[in-house]
Each structure stands twice: as structure tokens, then as C-alpha cells.
Structure 1
Amino acid sequence: MPSAPINEDSHLYLIDASAYIFRAFHALPPLSRASDGLPVGAVAGFCNMLWKLLEELKGDERPTHFACVFDKGSYTFRNDLYPDYKANRDEPPEDLRPQFPLVREASIAFACHALEMEGFEADDLIATYARQAEAKGARVTIVSSDKDLMQLVTDKITMLDTMKSKHLGIEAVYEKFGVGPEKVVDVQALAGDSTDNVPGAPGIGVKTAATLLGEYGTVEELLAHAEEIKQPKRRQTLIDFADQVRISKQLVKLDDNVPVETPLEDLAVCDPDPVTLIEFLEKMEFRTITRRVRETFEAEGVLEEPTQGEVGFDKENYVCVRDFKTLEDWIARAYDAGVIAVDTETDSLDCQLCNLVGISIAVAPNEACYIPLGHIDPDHTGGGDMFDADPPRQINKAEALKALKPLLEDKAILKVGQNIKYDYTVFARNGITLAPIDDTMLLSFALHAGMHGHGMDELSERYFHHTPIPFKEVAGTGQKQITFDRVPLDKATEYAAEDADVTLRLWQMFKPRLHKERVTTVYETLDRPLIPVLADMERHGIKVDRDFLSRLSSDFQQRMAGLEDAAYKAAGQEFNMGSPKQLGEILFGEMDLPGGKKTKSGQWSTDASQLEYLAAQGHELPQIILDWRTLSKLRSTYTEALQDAINPETKRVHTSYSMAGAQTGRLSSTDPNLQNIPIRTEEGRKIREAFIAEEGNVLISADYSQIELRLLAHIADIDALKNAFKDGLDIHAMTASEMFDTPIEGMDPMVRRKAKAINFGIIYGISAFGLANQLGIERGEASDYIKAYFEKFPGIRKYMDETKAFAKENLFVKTAFGRKLHLKEMGSKNGAQRAFAERQAINAPIQGSAADIIKRAMIAMPEALAKKKLDAKMLLQVHDELIFEVPESQAEDTIKLVQSVMQKAPLPALQLSVPLDVEAKAAKTWAEAH
């Protein structure tokens, strides 16, 4: 910032920022940032005040020097004089704490110096700069209404209360204290100040102090003549508390000779940088002031270009490409742009079966086109000249793809998409390998995981205040919904080109932020390179034995019928097994079982935890219902649904992996979900028997053993656990031995089970109630187990406390590889929400690190297999497990390679202090291989 001399023509403005933050916080209604719930009410008040002030002070009143002054910390030289100084002040409210650094950031964004010094209050710095400026003949305005600063008022130094738009001069001081500014310190020394715990003289208020000083002049003179005071009580008080009054004067008198670090001349006014200020206000999501600031800058001609979201969406510019010459022109424009957004339109959401209907491309905001390739109009009912009785005129699909293929595969042209894995697969099925690629969904996920969703519509509304055309608007809903190949080209162009336009703008906004948020490595090494790997896995699919599933489904149905008979007998009547309402009335209304509780709708709760509690008490019917529900879910979700999911072309099941579905970074499997098939039950294992290898091949299951416990041992630095893993011990038996003082040799399996439940439960922040339910024991006993666990492994408690404290201060935690997991509810006033966020804070770094490790293994795997000339195909990822299909003759070599790649996955980014153990086995079915 520039420097300017101080003289009689200068005008210095000093903002008491610390006092203003508190005032704004209590005076204004609560406000939270929509994206993550971060409290920003005081920041908003500060920004509005500052902008209003700067706008009002333009022209002749424009200050020459300007600064915002903050308190550096709570301890100052006054605490050395009087240890109880400000001792009765409460800690700042939880919602205010995270706003202090943001207000400092706001000051810098407004191009105002943010001044603070260790050991001094903001008032002392204000006093020092004010007196320095006054000595050089300059005018000074202190933006504050704090009475403590009134001692500084002179004919050159005034105060400004922005809340009341009121200037405070010498007359205002007389109104407040009954004395002039030169005697304010003496009045405060006598009257004291309960807010700052300044003792003063008990029983003497401001009015009495002013009267006494009017007679004696100063505190020193008053104390020297205290025995002359006529009123006995007042006289005795001044005699008894003379030293206290003297200390009080030292406390209230501002230090106007602080050795300030920034020279007064360096506080010269500087206009804020429009881009920096608008970026800050947009980050805070202050829409109103952002608009006002932008309009002002634009009117002054200092804002050259609005941001992407403010350009506006001019759909009139979108082009429908229906001839080869126009297509060639757009391809040329794409090469000139270097970065393009690409989106595909299809006639189905299943990227393994759908037909490519059209492609949209955006080369710049408002410069987008749609290339129809497969539109039809069998009913001859379409829209005007763009969609008449004949099939719509469009370029031949094969010729168009041939022309686009060099562009879409050119490594010099970056292709950007929203959830581009879908488009990658569609193009792959049409002979095009899309590369290189960026994904706005994953960019948002790397930046904002846990803050909000990452769908295009939500991102567009959140960052551009623009609602894209809903799909239902062009295709309809319900039974009247049409597939995209039947959408008229005018509507299709507007819809598809807009998607590409929005996607490109999101990329322009998010990509530069990776570096600022320090998540570039996460995106570039964990997320982006995984896209083609997952796409290939999804295309491979896995073979499922339809006949086996059919037989298993029939078996489940028969067993369900038997359970229904047993349930009717136990209840003494027939009822609908799938009706929570009927079941609740029987269990708690008629059978009068204990522990019943009603939901908000007034029905009895019959959720799994409630039934498990009753079953643990030995009640027959709840256990029958649990068994019936298990079979019912397995049948509907797997044995029936998997048969429907078999692809008619490949005869295999193709799941889809969501890369931004789980906050911790874990992949989630959908359509169908192959990650939640129970492994610990006989029925779940039977379902896995249906997953088989092709003739001549085998399936290999490679599974990280207890990876989350290993990461806990590493991250929390628990020597006992680390040594156990290094020595290859049974970690649950070791834990049980440590906790229950039991030899590992000949250990009771039940004791080991308890330790196992605690080991895994601790990672997920299990409560005594949860552990009690899991082990079927009393809550008190479960609480003792958890307490004993922390006593044996104090490092885990330390890790949990430190992690929660970090999350509370920063509203995020990080994995070992730097992935940020935002926890906006850490500052919630709702106890249940805050407790849930705390459990997430403990678990997320561990689960997220495990997820990142297996991602690194998956990314490295294809190249490693190709290098060894192994024909294995990676088919599935199920949390800590990878499934491969490989020729039987290559199984042994593949297992060795897979284990090696998985064990080395953290390197070189992370050197673990515990070994990673990978268990791998080959078999004809998934159940046998696991």
C-alpha cells in the first residue's frame, strides 16, 4: 500500500474494529453462510458499515489515511498491573469466534490496514495513532462509540457512531461524563467499570465522580484531601480504597505512546482492488452488498469484466449444429479455445445401454452449441421448421463422430464435464477415448466436500444465482415423459448447450481455487486419474448366475412364509408383516412390551434398533420380525433386483460408482449397489456365490486387513497398536489382553468379540448405549469398557480431543493425503447435530485416508498389470476390497502383483508407521474368494 505524509490537510480515520464486531454481533440478526453454515453475521455488518462509510466519505470528506484496529489477544500490560482486569468477561460466543479472522480478511479486501499488537489493546493503538496525527495538525475521526475512547476527544479528534450516524465531540463527552475529555480518565478511575472489572471506589458513580472532580480537579488532588470530604461514607471509601482508585486510573488511561510497527504515514488510503473485494464478498455469499459494490465499480469504470456468474446466460447465442460446415467451424473454435466443456445427451440414464442422441460443446460463456445426432419424430407433432413431418435434419452420427474424434482425443485440448465419467463411457462405447479430462463435480467435491451438494443445478444456483432448465421442462414427467431423442431441436439445443455453458463457467471458477485451498494434489492425484479407471471397471461388469439367484430368491420366499406363520403364532393373530403401524400396535399396544416410544406421527417406533433391544431382552416376536425383514430386503434388493440388472448385451451386471457421494471420499456403488451385501451372515454369503467368473477364469478378492485400525494406530501414534501390527498379532486379542488382563493363549472368544466391537466402535465414535446394544450388555458395563479402553490407550483419547478441537476451530478435518472434509455442524447450537459432527470429525480422517489409499491402489493397478502382461480386469471395489477377474493360469502371479501394489499404495506421499496387510484369494465365486 502507498505511503503519504501527514500534515494539517490530512484526515485520519481509525476504526475500532474489535468493538464493532461485538456490537454488530449482538445488534444484528444471526446470519450463516448458506454453503456451509459458517456464522457470518458480524462480518456482514462490518462489511456493510465499511462500504457505507467509504461511499459517504468520497469527495472532500475522503480521508487521507485509514485503518482498522483490532485486539491481538486477551492478555495486555494491564493484566500485569491488575491480574483480575477483565477477568469477569465471558468467552466470546461460539458463533462469533470464527468471525474474528474473517473481519481481518474483510479489512484487507477493502484495502484497509488491519492493525494489532501483542500486549496492547486496540484502544491503545488508536490512542497512539490519534495523538501522532493530532501533533502534526491532522484531523482524526475514531469510528467507535466506546466510552473508553472519549478521553482522546479534542477539537481535532472526534468520534463517529456509525450505528446511529452520530458524530461525538467535546459536548458529547460532557453529556456522558459531566466533565471534559481531559477528566474522563479520572471519572472512570473513581466510578470503575464492571464490564472490564476495573474496581474504582465502591459506591461512587459517574455523577458523583464528576461532582468531586469539579471541586478538587484531579483524582490525585481528591485523594490527597480525602479526609476533608464532608460525607462520612464517601470520605471513608476514598481513604480505604485510595490505592484501588490509583490502580484503576492506570487501567483506564490509554497508552498513547505504543511503539507501533506500522508508521502513521503508511496508513495512506488506497482504493480496494475490485476483483479481490468482489471475490471476498462472493466467498462470504453476501449477495446484496456484492451487487452494490459491483454496480459501483462498473459505474466508475474500474471493473473491466464481471465474473462468470455475472455475465448472464444469453441462450439466443446457442447454436444448433445441423450441417457439416457449421460443425467444422465449431471444431476450429474448440481448438482455438484450448479448454472446452463437453456434454452428451442420451435416451437413457444407463450409460452401458443408452444411445448417443447429441453432443453439446461450450468454448466460452454464452458460446455453446448442440450437435443433434439421433433425434426422431415418429408422431410428426414437433415444433415448427426445426422439427417438421420428416425426421429432423441432422448430421450423420458416424460422420460427425469421425470429425469430432481427433478433437475429443487431442491431448492438447482439455475436455471439461460435469460427472464426466458418464460421458467418458458413452464416448468409449462409440469408439472415442475422451482425454484429457476435468470434472466440475469432482472439483467442487475436492473444494467443498461436506459443505453442499455437487450437482450442476445446485452449483449453478449457488454460485451464479442461475437456475438451469429442468429436464422435466423439455421432456415432461411421469407417463408423459419422453426420451431425449424425441425432444424438439429448439428445446434440446437450449437445454443441452446451457448445460455445457454452466459447466465451463464452473470450471473457470473452481479450477483456480484448488491451489488457494491447497487441494490441488488431492484432485490431481486421487480424483481426476480415477475417472477412466472406474469407467473401465463399470464397463467390464461382473458375471452373475441368474439361475442361482432365482433359486435363492425362491428359498428366501419360502423361509419368509415360515417366519410369517411363526410371527402370527407369537402375536396370536395375523397382521401385515410389512406394516410398522400394525406391528407397533401389537408389540406395545396389545403385548405391552417395554421401551416403546412414538414417532412424530404418533405411531409406535419399530425401527431396527428398537426391535434389536426387545430381542436382546428375550422377546420372540421382535426377533422373528428382524429375521423376516432381513430376508425381505435381501430378496428385493439382491436376489430379484440383480436378475433385472443383468445387461442383455453383455450378460453381466454393471454397477456405477459415485465419486462425490460420501463426504469422506469413499466410493459408493449404485444401480445396483454391490457394496452393502452382508458378508457376516449366511444369507449374504450365499448372494455372493452368485457372482462368478467366466469359463477358464477365476475371481480374485484382495482385501486390506483392518486398514482403519492400522491408520488409527498411525495417526494417533499408539505404540501398543503399532507394535502389535508390526508383530503380526491378532489385534483384537491383543486389545482384549491389554484391557481385561487376559492371556491371549486360550482366550474366551466372547472376550475377543468385546474388544473387536470396541476397536471398531471407537473409530465411529460409538456411545455406551450403542456398545451395550451391540454386545447385549448393560450400559454401565459398556461405559466401563470404553473408559478402560481409553485408559489403556490414552493416545486415542488425545487424538480424539485434538481432532475435535481442530474441527471446531476450522470447521473441517483432513485425511492423511490432504483431502478436506468440511463439518459445518461443528459450530451448531443443536447439541445432537454438534455431537454427530464431532463423531464425524473423529472418523473422517481415518475412513477418508483408507478411501484415499485404495483409490491410489486402483489408479496404479492398470499400468502395473499391463507392465507384467497380466490379463486381469479390475471389476469391483467394495470399501477395502478389490475384485478382479483373471485367467486361471495367471491367478498366482496376479495375486502377488495386486498385493504389492495395494501395500505400496500410500507411497511416496505417506510413509505409514504400520504395515498394510492385504489378504488375497482366487476362486470361482466371490463368496469363495473372500
Structure 2
Amino acid sequence: MSETLLLVDGSNYLFRAFHALPDLRTSAGEPTGAIKGFTAMLGAVRSKVKPDFGVCVFDAKGKTFRSGIYPEYKANRPPMPEDLAAQIGPIHEFVRALGWRIIEKSGVEADDVIGTLATRAKAEGLTTYIATGDKDLNQLVEDGRVMTINTMTHEVLDEAGVKAKFGVPPGLIIDYLALMGDKVDNVPGIYKCGPKTAAKWLEAFGSLEAVAEHAPEVKGKAGEYLRQGLGFLPVAKDLVTIRTAVELPEVGTCRDLTFSEPDEAKLEPLFARWEMRSSAGRIRKQAAQAKKPSAPAGAQPDLFSALPASGPAPAGVLPQPPGLLEDPVDFSLVEDEASLKAMLGVLGAQEQSAIPVSVEILADSHQPMTAKLCGIALCAGGAGAWYMPLALGDGTRSKPQQDLLEGLRPWLEGGAPKVGHSVKFLLHVFANEGIRLSGRPGRGLEDTRLQDYVIESHNRHELPRLALRWLRRPIQGPEEVFGRGASEKRPWEVPREQAARYAVESAAAIRALYARFLLKMREEPAQKLESIYEDIELPTESVLFRMERTGTLIDPVRLEAQSRELAARIGELERRAWQEAGEEFNLSSPRQLGHILFEKLAIPAKKKTASGGYSTGEEVLSELAADYPLPRTVLEYRALAKLKSTYTDKLPAMIFPGDGRVHTTFGQATAVTGRLASSDPNLQNIPVRTEEGRRVREAFIAPAGCRIVSADYSQIELRIMAHLSGDPGLVSAFQRGMDVHRATASEVFGVPPEEVTPEQRRMAKVINFGLIYGMGAHGLAQNLGVDRAKAAEFISRYFARYPLVHEYMDRTRQLAHERGYVETAFGRRLWLPDIESTRAVVRAGAERQAINAPMQGTAADLIKIAMVSVQKWLDERALCSRLVLQVHDELVLEVPDEELGEVMKKLPLIMSGVATLRVPLTASVGSGESWEAAH
């Protein structure tokens, strides 16, 4: 079990804590915001990582050696705010009382101390996490042994994470920083060289020195600026390079940096002195959560050792199961009949194993419908691992390779248990080969992406990240092996040994992760998470694969005609905008639009962007549109331009030549709430409230002899609120089949239901849905167009009518703070990472999310269960009707005319019967020649 060291960049924490919280003060007027923020952040990161050792490193007073290199270093920094300086002493007292050691070293910076300790820890066999918001420290990230963890978000960056975030690997962060310079530290870089330019140059040339060597080749103004700044680059590089050999005689080994037990004799008076008694319980709770569970004396960690009892698994705290992820993994190449026969013999003996054989593939593209299989990796743990190459050096496949694939086909299509990562893509690639990849009968393949999604929906689910997080095992990511973007190589364009090892080690990680995740899900009370995975997510994946494979028929002629009409309308709006502005300008340029609105027309600016420019986002323009014509015109222009570029222009070009259909990809492990996403193309964001958007849906048509059938749940989230809250008024309204919006209007406006006006019903609808989204009086006032006092009165009347709804909201917020998550009616866990944020606005947002997430998540669960139930019924009846789309709370089917009556009758019954709630579920159904006509 690898030991971990947590190095906290205390100086970075100081400033982040000071600026994150409002101006908090004691009753005597003494500032406390930084104290409260720092202690909260320190406790949160320790409870997240659960380190064995740790230290908090601060900058010492006075100049450092860098001022000798460049006298202007940090010369433009303003003095530390007095309110922050006053809090440093108390912060140090708290840190020590909480059991941390503190290091300050004169003549160097905290970064240099951290760099030295991280380097020593690596040599001593420790894994290091550096808690910081400073990008400079990412230069220390290396081989999964040193990682950074963000101060605020707790995002962990390994090598792949650094590359994804900055565009360069850790080894080039120094060069990257030297090119950009650092305004905060007054380190000059290349003029106007930002992150994208720096990353582009380094990707093109490979290093800072190579960039300088090739500077004459860089064209335009960027090249001129580069050549002008070459002289200072070596100095800049020296300044941004973190030293890793600082003398630290006070630290014998990194294992000396142990934690002490919190000193209650010191903490109690500190809490009292700084009036932080309300924070004391949380801080003590975090300290308790930071302790690793102790193993029995002499016990060795194994595959089934105990995992943390609750909460997301902190990165890098789980023991590595011995024998599962050897480094490197031994594997055999399958290149002839003898090696195939030997592999199949071992695979046959694995069919009763508790852990399935893992399957990983290499393909020549990321497009599910066209990707070609280039290699297969299989891992059966200690029994063996194999790689079967299926592409020659030119990308073609030889007959012997095809024969090997055919020899493996019976096992691939058989009922042997198998596990993959992102199984839906595997199913597509094998389907492109005419192979129906199968797993256990009635269950299919296990999927580690879906397992992790059920356990921690709020995190990213890439395989290298999971291997590092759960198995303490760094593995290569695809970008490290094949590159990315325009320079991405295909599997046959990298050395075969490299491609094979990448695939096999990925397969080995998948198999180990499956066992980890299975254990994690089974330890939960009532095994709710395992039920979510097995009864909802796995069968949904199978249905989504079939839907993606089927695709949706569209009419390109209709879309092309609409594109022409939209182009004409967009041109008219552009000319109208020019007339309203008094000059021609680029409506798509926020800078030009901001100049016209707020400088030329002198409209009062609502807010600025982070860079100091005028904000011209939809929210700002919508507010201005009530009083000024130009913002109204721009909003209409943007809506039509987006519709044209995203749908009417794009969809015809996305028709698959093989069947004349559009094949979207459904993202199953995307939204935190469990909702499905749609991409390439996104069919869930087609506007339905505008005539132009509805016309796009008219182009989604049924083939000859068929009809489009649409069925969607009625007021699903309000019904779920009634179920979760148990409010008798709300439950009764649904049970009696009342118009809930009319009933709410009757209560809020004090009129009999039959006298409610359409406008009152509309306002009641806003209130019903606004409150379940956690909207307060301010937001409700804006949405209703009334003053805040009137909105507060509406809310008061609403909760007087539905008191248990208010109790549910309060209870849910409290549970979210206590547990860090909320749950759907089925037990899906929805994590809220920001629920204990030190920033009030962020924490308030998480509390609103806590109220709404159970409703959105339960609705997502219901529609998935409905999809699975409908598909099961279609299969049992051997019908030719097919599910083609799922959008929000709606299912869309393609139904032959002769099956229309049966489907129209049965579909709403299936959807309304998938779960028993306190209130009835109802689904409406319609049919037509197009998707729009079916509504």
C-alpha cells in the first residue's frame, strides 16, 4: 500500500482564502475571512486525500535568490493587504493546532521547498499530492508519483491531466511559462504570447530552445514579437524553474512529516477568540475524515480489502491489489493458429471466474459507425493477457489476421463473462466487423465506465484517471501513445510493441477496476448503487446501442430549403441591426457589439467579462431587450444563425451513406443527474418553442409505410416533488387529476380554480417549476416581471399551501451538507462537490442543485427504465417498431403502420407503470409523418 505525502502551498492558500470569502469580521471588527477560508480548505483537502504525511509550506519574508537573477522580479507586486497580513499569525496557530507542521525557508520560495520535498518523496517511494492553485507547480508532475490537486475544485492532475489542461506535458511547463511570462511575478515573456500560442509553438518545435532556433520561421506579428523577446527567454526560464535541491536540515526524511492529533487545548480558545464556534464542528469532522482506516496487524491489502465507508474515493488512497497490475504486464501476441488455440484454452477455463475477462480494442477512428478494428487486447489476470494485431503497416488486414479474428468470433459472440470500458463503442466497432459482441446471457458486457459513473457521477471517467485514482497505477492514455487532433496517429502508425502494451495494460486496468467497483457498490447500504448499475445503466446501454445503430431518417431537401430561408431572414436581421446601430458591424463579435451598445448608444452596461470587456451574453441582452430594439434584434439573429449552422446546414452533411440516416451518439456517463446527452449531432437542443425550431423537427420523418410515435411524461418533475415531499396538497392534486398549475394559481392569487386567468396560470407554472429548481425571491421576481416583495409574497403563499415541500427542501439541504450528496428515489447518488465551498455564491448554487437534482435524477432514472421496458416489450412481441430517440422526458419510435394501433395503446401504459409513486405517472402519446407532427 503506497504511502502518500500532501504538500500544501500555504502562500497560495492564503490569497485564495482571502479573496474567496466576503469581508468577514469578529464583533470587534477584526478580519476573519482568510482564517475561516484557509482552515476550511486545509481540512477539505486533507479529508479528500487522506495522506500519511503532510506539511504546510509558506513563503518566508524577504527577497529570494530570484531577485539576484532579475532585480525587477516581483517588483510590481502591491503590498499585502493589511487585513490579510493581520490574519497570517492566527492562521499559523490554527495550522499547528490542527496537527500540521509548517515550513518557511528564507532565500527561496515555498515552490522551491515543495519541489525539493516532492523530489525527495519520490526517491523515498512516496506518492505526493501538491495542493495549490499555482500552475507553476505542474512542472513537478511526473509518472503518477507526483500530482497536483486544485485548491478549490480538488481536481487532481496527473501527466495526462496537465497535458489536457495546458496543452503541454509537465516536462514542458517550464518552457510554456517562460514563453508566456508571468505578470504577477513581473517575469517578461514574449509579447502577446498566451497559453494557446505557447502550446502551439512547443507542440510544433518541441522545446523552448527549439522555438528560439526556429523563430525566423514564425510568420506575422507573432514572429516579430518572438524574435524581439528571444534575449530574455533564458532568464525567464531560470526564473520560472522550481529548485528541487534546497537544503532542509529540519526534515530528515519525508516520513518525518507526520501529523499530530489536533490539540483541543489550543483549538478551543482559538475558535472562541476568532468567533468560529459554528465552524468548529466542521473542522473537527474533516480532521476525523482525514484519517486512513487502519488495517489489522500483519494484514496485507488485497483485492477485497475494505474501501472507505462513504463519500467519493479520494484520489490515490486505495491499496493496490497485488498480482493484478504488474509493471509491465506480461502478455502474449496472438499471430498464428497455435497462439490462438492456446489463448482460447485459457479463456474457456475462465468462464466461471468471479472476475470477467477484460476486452480492450484499438480502432482507426472515434466514429462509432465507421471505426475499423485494428487490434484486440484481452486480460484474464494471472491466467494471462494477450494482444491480437489486426492491421498491417498500411492499415489493411491480411487474410491470416482475418482468420484469427474469425477464430476468436465464437468466444466474442458467446456467453463468457466479459468487461470493457465504454462498452457501447466496443459493440459498434465489432458490429462494423459483423460480430455481435456478447457477455453473460441476459446481462451483456460489464462496463467499468458505467460502474464509476454510478459511484461518482461528478468526476471524469477516463481510464487512465481511474487507474491512478482507484488502483494507484499510472497507465498511458491514448493521447500519450497516439497524439491528438490533426497529428493523431492511427494504431498501425506507432510501433506495434507500443500499441500492444498500451492496449494490454488498459485491459489489465479494466479488469482490476471492475473488481474494485463491484466491491465498492456492494458495501453500500441495501446495495442501491449496484441496483442502479445492474437494473438501470447496463440494460440502458444495450438499448442505446441499438438506437444509435438504427439512427433517424431525415429529409435533407426540407432542411436545405429551410437553410435558404434562414439565410434570407438572417440577412434581413443583420441589415436591421446596422440601421438600429447607425453603422455596419459584425454581429458575431462581442467586442464590436459591446462598443456599439455601451459606448456609441450609451446603453448602461450590466456587467463586465473577466477580461474587463463588456458582457454581451444572452442574459444581458435579454434584460436589455425589454427596453432597447438592438439587443432584441441581436438575440433573434443569434438564435437563427445558431439554428442554421447547428442543424439545417449540418444535419444533411451528417447523413450516413450506408442507410441515409443520421446517427447521434448518446452520452450515458455525462450528466451528474443521470440524464442522457446527445452529440454528433446533438438532437436534444433543437428549440421547440419557436416556429423555426419546430420546422427542424418536421425534417425528422418516418420511412414509407411507417409513422413517428412520440410519448412523453407529463409534468414529471412536479410529480416527483410530490412523491419525495409527500405533501398532501400536492399529492392530492395529482391523484385527483387536477391541473396543478391552476390549483397553485388558485392558492397564490386567492381565487377559485374556475376563475384563474391564463396569465395567472402562467405565473403559477413559473412558481411551481422555479421553486423546485431552488429559485429564490430575486430570481422569481425576474422571471415573473414583478418586484421582489411581491415574489416573496408568492413564495410565502406557495409554501403555506404546500408546507411539506418547504420541509423537504430544508431537509434536503441539511442532508446535502451532512453527506455531500443527495439521492434519487431509486438510490442514485448525486454528489455535490461545492456544498461546503467557502465561497457563499458557489455554496448557494450547490444548495439549489441539491434541491433539484433528486427530481432531475429520478426523472432520468424513470425514462431509462421506460426505455428498457419498451424495448423488452417490443422484443417479446417480435415487433418491427424501433426506438430511435430519447430527448428529455420523451421517447420517439419508428412504427410500421400495421403495428401503430398496438404501440399507441401499449406505450403509455408501459411508461406509466415503470414505478409506483405516491402520485400517478402519466404519459401522452401522438403519431405523425414527422417528429413534429407526432406532438
Corresponding residue to 1:482 among 461, 471, 489: 489
Q: Residue deviations 1:424-458, cap 9 Å, x none?
A: 122233232322311001111111122x2111122
Corresponding residue to 2:647 among 632, 638, 645: 638
Task: Report the Cα offset of residue 475 of structure 1.
Answer: 3.1
Gaps of 5+ in 1: 1-24, 50-67, 72-84, 112-269, 295-305, 379-390
For 1:737-816, what aligned pairs fall within 5 Å after superposition? 737-816=746-825
Task: Report the Cα offset of residue 403 of structure 1.
Answer: 1.9
| 2:729–2:801 Cα contact (<8 Å) kept | no
Q: Which residue of 2 is the match for residue 248 of structure 1?
A: none
| 1:474–1:492 Cα contact (<8 Å) kept | yes
| 1:446–1:819 Cα contact (<8 Å) kept | yes
Q: Which residue of 1 is the match for residue 409 of structure 2?
A: 405
Q: Which residue of 1 is the match for residue 118 of structure 2?
A: none
Q: Residue deviations 1:822-858, cap 9 Å, x none?
A: 1121111111221111111101111111111111111
Q: Give the direction of change, closer, same or farther, for the CA distance of 1:816–1:328 in structure 2 (3 Å limit).
A: same
Equivalent-residue separation in structure 2 for 1:634 and 1:894 (angstroms): 32
Equivalent-residue separation in structure 2 for 1:792 and 1:837 (angstroms): 26
Equivalent-residue separation in structure 2 for 1:282 and 1:717 (angstroms): 27
AA of the residue aligned to 2:918: S
Q: Give the direction of change, closer, same or farther, for the CA distance of 1:280–1:788 in structure 2 (3 Å limit).
A: closer
Q: Which residue of 1 is the match for residue 233 of structure 2?
A: none
Equivalent-residue separation in structure 2 for 1:921 and 1:608 (angstroms): 34
Corresponding residue to 2:921 among 886, 906, 916: 916
Corresponding residue to 1:459 among 459, 462, 466: 466
| 1:865–1:897 Cα contact (<8 Å) kept | no
Task: Report the Cα offset of residue 800 of structure 1.
Answer: 0.5
Equivalent-residue separation in structure 1 for 2:633 and 2:712 (angstroms): 33
AA of the residue aligned to 2:437: T
| 2:870–2:910 Cα contact (<8 Å) kept | yes
Q: Give the direction of change, closer, same or farther, for the CA distance of 1:392–1:684 in structure 2 (3 Å limit).
A: closer
Q: Give the direction of change, closer, same or farther, for the CA distance of 1:284–1:864 in structure 2 (3 Å limit).
A: closer
Equivalent-residue separation in structure 1 for 2:861 and 2:926 (angstroms): 23
Q: Which residue of 1 is the match for residue 668 of structure 2?
A: 659
| 1:347–1:356 Cα contact (<8 Å) kept | yes
Task: Report the Cα offset of residue 724 of structure 1.
Answer: 1.6
**Residue 850 in structure 1 maps to residue 859 in structure 2:** yes
Task: Report the Cα offset of residue 570 of structure 1.
Answer: 0.8
Equivalent-residue separation in structure 2 for 1:810 and 1:281 (angstroms): 12
Q: Give the direction of change, closer, same or farther, for the CA distance of 1:631–1:707 in structure 2 (3 Å limit).
A: same
| 1:530–1:859 Cα contact (<8 Å) kept | yes
Find the residue that maps to 1:691 and give its secondary structure. coil
Find the residue that maps to 1:817 and give its secondary structure. coil
Find the residue that maps to 2:754 and give its secondary structure. coil
| 1:460–1:466 Cα contact (<8 Å) kept | yes
Q: Which residue of 2 is the match for residue 449 of structure 1?
A: 457
Corresponding residue to 1:333 among 341, 346, 355: 346
Q: Residue deviations 1:864-923, cap 9 Å, x none?
A: 1233343210111111100000111211210111111111111xxxx3111111000111
Find the residue that maps to 1:611 and give its secondary structure. helix
AA of the residue aligned to 2:919: V
Q: Which residue of 2 is the match for residue 438 of structure 1?
A: 446
Task: Report the Cα offset of residue 357 of structure 1.
Answer: 1.8
| 2:874–2:881 Cα contact (<8 Å) kept | yes
| 2:314–2:469 Cα contact (<8 Å) kept | no
Q: Give the direction of change, closer, same or farther, for the CA distance of 1:745–1:874 in structure 2 (3 Å limit).
A: same
Task: Report the Cα offset of residue 368 of structure 1.
Answer: 2.8
| 2:885–2:893 Cα contact (<8 Å) kept | yes
Equivalent-residue separation in structure 1 for 2:775 and 2:315 (angstroms): 41
Corresponding residue to 2:517 among 510, 519, 531: 510
Find the residue that maps to 1:358 and give its secondary structure. strand
Task: Report the Cα offset of residue 780 of structure 1.
Answer: 3.6
Q: Residue deviations 1:341-368, cap 9 Å, x none?
A: 1122222211112222221111116943
| 2:50–2:292 Cα contact (<8 Å) kept | no
Find the residue that maps to 1:662 and give its secondary structure. coil
AA of the residue aligned to 1:624: T
Q: Which residue of 2 is the match for residue 416 of structure 1?
A: 419
**Residue 872 in structure 1 maps to residue 875 in structure 2:** no
Give the TM-score of the pair, scaled to structure 2: 0.68
For 1:216-615, what aligned pairs fall within 5 Å after superposition? 279=307, 307=321, 311-315=325-329, 317-338=330-351, 339-364=356-381, 367-377=384-394, 395-397=400-402, 399-411=403-415, 413-429=416-432, 430-436=434-440, 437-450=445-458, 452-517=459-524, 518=527, 519-615=529-625
| 1:701–1:883 Cα contact (<8 Å) kept | yes
CA RMSD of superposed structures (Å)? 3.6
Q: Residue deviations 1:364-403, cap 9 Å, x none?
A: 169432212233428xxxxxxxxxxxx7878332x23332
| 1:424–1:532 Cα contact (<8 Å) kept | no
Task: Report the Cα offset of residue 752 of structure 1.
Answer: 1.0
Task: Report the Cα offset of residue 101 of structure 1.
Answer: 5.8
For 1:54-73, what aligned pairs fall within 5 Å after superposition? none
Find the residue that maps to 1:512 and give its secondary structure. helix
Equivalent-residue separation in structure 2 for 1:593 and 1:26 (angstroms): 41
Equivalent-residue separation in structure 1 for 2:315 and 2:761 (angstroms): 57
Find the residue that maps to 1:928 and give its secondary structure. coil
AA of the residue aligned to 1:428: A
Q: Residue deviations 1:657-688, cap 9 Å, x none?
A: 11110001111111111111111111111110
Task: Report the Cα offset of residue 792 of structure 1.
Answer: 2.2
AA of the residue aligned to 1:340: V
Equivalent-residue separation in structure 1 for 2:576 and 2:887 (angstroms): 36
Q: Give the direction of change, closer, same or farther, for the CA distance of 1:69–1:579 in structure 2 (3 Å limit).
A: closer
Task: Report the Cα offset of residue 38 of structure 1.
Answer: 9.4
| 1:872–1:887 Cα contact (<8 Å) kept | yes
Gaps of 5+ in 2: 1-36, 55-93, 102-260, 265-271
Alignment: residue pair count: 683
Equivalent-residue separation in structure 2 for 1:110 and 1:542 (angstroms): 55
Equivalent-residue separation in structure 1 for 2:451 and 2:635 (angstroms): 42
Equivalent-residue separation in structure 1 for 2:517 and 2:549 (angstroms): 29
Task: Report the Cα offset of residue 786 of structure 1.
Answer: 2.5
| 1:448–1:822 Cα contact (<8 Å) kept | yes
Equivalent-residue separation in structure 1 for 2:716 and 2:41 (angstroms): 46
Equivalent-residue separation in structure 2 for 1:919 and 1:641 (angstroms): 31
